[in-house]
Every structure is written in C-alpha cells, then in structure tokens.
C-alpha cells in the first residue's frame, strides 16, 4: 500500500510516500520537509497565521516534488494520511483540506493521524524495528511524556511534564542567554564545547518517586547563574553544558524508572529532542547497563515530518480504518482515545 503523508501541524510542511510492500527503511520511498524557521525568526517564535499561509504556498509544490522523487504519479497512490491534531488549528486545516481534496479527486481512502502517534511510531520505520509492548519517551518542544505502549493504538500515560516540555526549556533557556531563535539546537551545540561540571544544576523531581517532569525551576536556576556570571562566551558554553547535562540526566533517570514500572526492557525515543546526541549516548549506555534496548528514528525523522504521518496512516489504512469526507481537525487530542490495531496474526 502506497500512502501519501502530509504534516502541517505547526511550522514545518512535511510530505512523504510510504510503501508497505517494502520492508524497514526501504518503505520510505521519498520525503521532504520545508522549515519555516526563517519566516518566524524575526518574531522570536511561531506566528500561527503566518504558519498557515506558508503551508498554503508550499504544500502543493512539495507534494509534486515528493511524488517525483518517489517515481510515482498521484494515480499510483493507495491512500492519503494527514495530521489531524494536535497542533495549530489553521495549520492543521491546510493539510487536512488538501489531503481530503486529493483523496476525493483520486477516489482514495484518507485518514487523519494523531501527530504524537506519528512521532511514537517513527522508530518502527527503521530496520529491525521493536515490537510492542515497550515504553516510549516522547520528547519535543511541545511534549515530554512517558507512555506504555501495549500495542499500536493502545497507550497508557506513565508520566508527563507539569510545565515546560524539555525542548521548550531548551529554547527558553537559550533565549535567556541571548541566543537567536530557535535557540535549542544552538544551545546543544554550545554545550558540546562546555566544560563538564563547571556548572551543576538540579535534576528536577528525581529526588522523589514518580514519573512526571518539571523543567521550570531548572530554567530559573540557569537564569540566576547567567545573571550572576561574567556572561562571557566561555561561561555561556559552560552553563549550556550544565543545563544540557541536567535535562539529559533527568530524562535518563525517569526512563529507567518507567521501564522498571512497566516491566519492559525496550525503550523507544521520538520527538525533536530525540536527535540530541548526548541524550542518545546516555540512553544507549543506560540500556547496555541494564540489559535493555533503546530505539530511535534517524535524526531527520525526529522533528516534524511527513514520513511518520505516512507510516502511521499506512498502518491504520491497511487495517481498514479511514475517515469520512469531512474536513475535520482536532487541535487538542488525547492519544488514549485512539483505536487499537489488532496484533498481526
């Protein structure tokens, strides 16, 4: 089954084609992402109306480009999947409208995909994918959650952030230290050059039981350290390293607790922060120490992309699920309400 995936939940326009007839990573026939970072940089954050307009401009050319890269025509498709939520309502409606129109014109089934389920399932596109049950860490600019995955579509929330998501904390901390938007990746890059241990910050909520996260107090610690410092380039690097170490240590500790609570040895990590190299290294070390396994998508598929939507949609379309012709999005959508897929025979 060849499925076109469309992602327009926020500030990336993503399109991909996934072919279920091909195994593992080969199933991703083509994918392309257009980022709106340059558009929003002058405002220091995403402007929803501008995001929606840019999706309108970029989506159809990106669909044509992706089909060309896949060596396919629109008539060769077997289904269309699109992000229906969570996300910015205007941005979601652009992708949903185009997807529904395309499906109607080609007489194809179409399905709205949960954005976070797309992230969660992205590592399953790689070769030697993990099999449920497992524990998933969804860690991005908008979400930090630990989820027990009993089977595809059956998810149980184990813990989540009580305030800022980890990626949001990266971006806000970078902004406090004068780094331009989006600051998270730049902060991580600076941390690579920082001196370990020069600044040590708290590992929030690791001194008590539970699987929830909180990063607001950590941001305050960093702000106070930065204000009281000489604010030199060297100090910025050292503070960045101290902050990143604190976030990574916290995530690693909570992941191990979640695995123990769920009785699992397999951890799946997805979302934009999943591309962080220090986090990847530390989780691999933890998995090796505890006799477990950790699985990531390739870095290009950690941030928002059409590939994860095409894949998640293909699994559900293949199982016979599809939506009616109504153009409908769900900006707030609890993943626990999703329909479970029957395990493969």
Domain spans of the chain, in order of start: 2-122+301-337, 131-296
What is the reported pLDDT for 41? 93
Query: Is 134:116 a contact under the CB 8 Å cutoff?
Result: no
**Residue segments in the chain with a per-residue pLDDT below the cut of 70:** 343-345
> From the annotation, which residues make up the binding site for substrate?
138-142, 171, 184, 276
Q: Tokens standing for 266?
A: 């397999």
Task: Out of 3.40.640.10, 3.30.420.40, 3.90.1150.10, 3.90.550.10, select the CATH number for domain 2-122+301-337.
Answer: 3.30.420.40
Q: Tokens standing for 291?
A: 């006799």
Task: Out of 3.30.420.40, 1.10.10.10, 3.40.50.970, 3.20.20.210, select the CATH number for domain 131-296.
Answer: 3.30.420.40
Q: Tokens standing for 270?
A: 């997805």
> From the annotation, which residues make up the binding site for Fe cation?
115, 119, 304
Topology agreement, domain 2-122+301-337 and domain 131-296:
yes
DSSP 150: E
What is the reported pLDDT for 343? 60
| CA R_g for the chain | 20
What is the reported pLDDT for 345? 43
Question: 119: burial class by Cβ within 10 Å (0-12, 13-18, 19+)?
Answer: buried
The total number of residues written for the chain in this structure: 345
> From the annotation, which residues make up the binding site?
115, 119, 138-142, 171, 184, 276, 304
Sign of CA dihedral 159, 162, 167, 170: negative
Q: For tokens 């449920």, what's the residue?
A: 132
Q: Maximum Cα–Cα distance for the chain, whole Å?
A: 64
| pTM, rounded to two decimals | 0.95
Q: Are strands 293-295 and 266-270 parallel, antiparallel or unpaired?
A: parallel
Strand order in the sheet with 28-35: 28-35, 12-19, 2-7, 79-85, 110-114
């Amino acid at each position: 089954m060849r499925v076109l995936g469309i992602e327009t939940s926020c500030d990336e326009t993503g399109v991909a084609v996934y072919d279920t007839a091909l195994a593992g990573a080969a199933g991703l026939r083509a994918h392309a992402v257009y980022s709106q970072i340059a558009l929003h940089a002058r405002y220091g954050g995403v402007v929803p109306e501008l995001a929606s307009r840019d999706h309108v401009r970029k989506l159809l050319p990106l669909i044509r480009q992706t089909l060309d890269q896949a060596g396919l025509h629109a008539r060769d498709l077997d289904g269309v999947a699109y992000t229906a939520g969570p996300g910015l309502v205007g941005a979601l409606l652009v992708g949903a409208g185009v997807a529904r129109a395309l499906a109607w014109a080609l007489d194809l089934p179409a399905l709205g995909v949960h954005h976070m389920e797309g992230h969660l399932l992205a590592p399953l596109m790689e070769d030697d994918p993990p099999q449920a049950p497992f524990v998933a860490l969804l860690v991005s600019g908008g979400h930090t959650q630990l989820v027990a995955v009993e089977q595809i579509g059956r998810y149980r929330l184990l813990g989540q952030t009580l305030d800022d998501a980890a990626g949001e904390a990266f971006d806000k901390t970078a902004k406090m230290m004068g780094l331009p938007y989006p600051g998270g990746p730049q902060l991580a890059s600076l941390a690579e050059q920082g001196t370990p241990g020069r600044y040590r910050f708290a590992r929030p909520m690791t001194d008590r039981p539970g699987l929830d996260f909180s990063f607001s107090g950590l941001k305050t610690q960093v702000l106070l350290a930065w204000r009281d410092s000489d604010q030199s380039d060297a100090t910025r690097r050292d503070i960045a390293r101290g902050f990143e170490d604190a976030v990574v240590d916290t995530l690693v500790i909570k992941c191990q607790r979640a695995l123990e609570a769920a009785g699992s040895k397999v951890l799946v990590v997805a979302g934009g922060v999943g591309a962080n190299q220090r986090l990847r290294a530390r989780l691999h070390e933890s998995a090796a120490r505890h006799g477990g396994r950790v699985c990531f998508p390739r870095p290009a598929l950690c941030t928002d992309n059409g590939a994860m939507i095409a894949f998640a949609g293909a699994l559900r379309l293949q199982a016979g699920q599809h939506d009616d012709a109504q153009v409908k999005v769900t900006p707030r959508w609890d993943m626990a309400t999703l329909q479970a897929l029957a395990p493969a025979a």
